[in-house]
A and B are shown apart, each in its own frame.
Chain A
């Protein structure tokens, strides 16, 4: 397989008010791990070797491999010519003269890669685990009004609400680029259904919330995801990377 060559090139016309979001079901790519490994840089190969579990290593190799292929498509280069660098607080970026920004997240069997021109983008996907104490975590890391909102939700809906809130928060701080050093309890996001995602309140600037677009969605029943972009008026287009390296719009 030559990853990516099958993809319909017209998909890669990313306009200035679109977010392209790629869903990669990792299991479907498992037979191609070696192919992806072969297009990684030596640093990336070294990093891949460090993972303790094969599952984590495969996830890293596949996600990085697909990220290389997709980035290459968007900036018209070859996958192996792509080089990555880091921003001040460790957020990965493209080391090329381009306005293209990306962000990656994975959980369980799902990886997501988002692309946007000109503006900062952050995303997060989480597998909905039901064996964690969401109220306890919220107590420690959420803002006061988020804790109140979560407490008010009926028990069987708390998990989804928690993950909706968490992915929105994480997507926001990932777009900000400062990692978890960002104070999680000093901004709030909504917890409502997917189409009502919004940044509620940021304690350092009452106008900050006017600057962000947030989208929430479920890649499938077991996952919740959120994307944020530091700009207004964006629309979200979703694609799936299937096992033959073909992109299909969802």
Chain B
């Protein structure tokens, strides 16, 4: 038994001492998981007529705060080692037979915390709630979490659905809210951190023509650890948000955000379909300030939509028909998918509901921008890392490689990848793609 505690107990009256000594056979300290504060756990082997509340009251009244156990565990028998000492290991494994947990209530320190405490108490239907109580340990679940968030929003506390999962106590939530504004990734709507941790050069992934970045999510699972991964989404997905009007302006804004996170190159920028033009524009803009870029192209030709020259068309057609004969349905589907963002979605225009129209408005804008983009004929010193899937026609491969060689004076490195153009970022292709990405990133 702890010396000071023994001393304190010695000061109690005979009767008080009896109660205590008969009830608590052992007090030993336990490091809390966070390591921040010591937590005292009392294991109590009760006799008949034992009253836990009375014991707690005694302990609280008689001992200094730091000595009051944070939890009381009632055990049937305190296990002993052969030498008569308490077997601490066996003790920890004992089942707890009675509802006994008692935690100190930490009061709210700010207005936000006060509001959150009353919302939690209302939704979880008990009180008092301590600002250090873990939501999921006091009966919280997902449907209660969204009730809390929806009530908090009404009080002007803007939380997102996942934030109760990330910050599970009121204390953590309010700290998060306080620092939210300082967080760089929150500064601009279009930057999403897929992986924040790491000290290596970050990878920036630009959204597709569909306007979203979710398909990049699996990269966080498969790219080697230590490298932060950021995705860039366009603005305009929600009502009242301004959309960019051309690729040049869009790229300038994206570069600002990127350079906030990584002040100097080489910049590793992953582009796919629509965003190849953003990659091209980025290289041209970085050229002006003498910064290096590595455009990582996920299986796309430079300027794929204006495959103007007859050569290009011939090769494309040949490749298309070869595929068509091999697997007609799949080829047509692929053809549609690869170009889906260039085709005006007439069906949606006529029959689409509002929610679809909003997204279509954004997609149409992206489509328009990429069709209008006119700097594909300008050369730069950027480097291109080309992730290339197997094509049925070798000429088509060469065509894609050459389209980049013509522009990128920094050189084109080709990384053959397994999988299909349309599923590069899905399981299982993404595993292989991630391996190649790890190789082509410039530090």
Contacts and interface: CB of A to CB of B under 8 A. Distances in A.
Contacts of A178: 217
Interface string B140-182: 0111011101100100000001101110000000000000000
B99 A49 contact: no
A144 interface: yes
A141 B139 contact: no
Contacts of A170: 142
User: Which 9 A-B residue pairs are closest in the complex by CB-CB distance?
Assistant: A144-B355, A204-B212, A54-B99, A181-B162, A180-B162, A52-B138, A140-B150, A180-B161, A204-B214
Given A179-B165, A204-B210, A52 B137 contact: yes
B142 A180 contact: yes
Among B145, B149, B214, B354, the one with the most A-chain Cβ atoms within 10 Å of its Cβ is: B214
Interface stretch (B55-63, B88-96, B108-116): B88-96
A88 interface: yes
A53 B359 contact: no
Interface string B348-375: 0000011110110000000000000000
A249 interface: no
A204 B95 contact: no
26 contacts: A34-B97, A38-B95, A42-B92, A42-B93, A49-B96, A50-B137, A54-B99, A56-B137, A56-B138, A87-B221, A88-B221, A132-B143, A137-B147, A140-B150, A140-B153, A143-B355, A166-B143, A180-B145, A180-B161, A180-B164, A181-B161, A182-B162, A201-B356, A203-B359, A205-B210, A206-B340
A52 B161 contact: no
Interface of A: 34, 37-38, 42, 45, 49-56, 87-88, 107, 124, 126, 129, 132-133, 136-137, 139-141, 143-145, 148, 166, 170, 178-184, 186, 188, 201, 203-207
A45 B95 CA distance: 8
Given A141-B146, A180-B165, A56 B139 contact: yes
A141 B150 CA distance: 9
A45 B212 CA distance: 42
Given A34-B97, A49-B101, A201-B355, 17 more contacts: A37-B95, A38-B95, A49-B73, A52-B101, A54-B99, A107-B141, A126-B143, A129-B143, A140-B153, A148-B353, A180-B142, A180-B161, A181-B166, A201-B356, A204-B210, A204-B215, A205-B210
Among B138, B161, B210, B337, the one with the most A-chain Cβ atoms within 10 Å of its Cβ is: B161
Interface in B205-232: 210, 212, 214-215, 217, 220-221
Chain B: interface size category = 35 or more
A166 B358 CA distance: 23
B113 to A, nearest CB: 19
B355 to A, nearest CB: 4
A186 B358 CA distance: 12
Contacts of B164: 180
A108 B400 CA distance: 58
Contact of B215 (A50, A184, A205): A205
A53 B139 contact: yes
Contact of B162 (A42, A132, A179, A186): A179
B367 to A, nearest CB: 15
B141 to A, nearest CB: 7
Contact of A52 (B92, B97, B133, B358): B133
Nearest to A143: B355
A5 B73 CA distance: 31
B146 A137 contact: yes
Nearest to A42: B93
Interface string B101-135: 10100000000000000000000000000000110
B397 interface: no
A187 B358 CA distance: 14
Contacts of B214: 183, 204
Nearest to B89: A42
A231 B184 CA distance: 38
B212 A203 contact: yes
Contacts of B145: 180
B71 interface: yes
Given A34-B95, A143-B355, A181 B71 contact: no
A250 B265 CA distance: 62
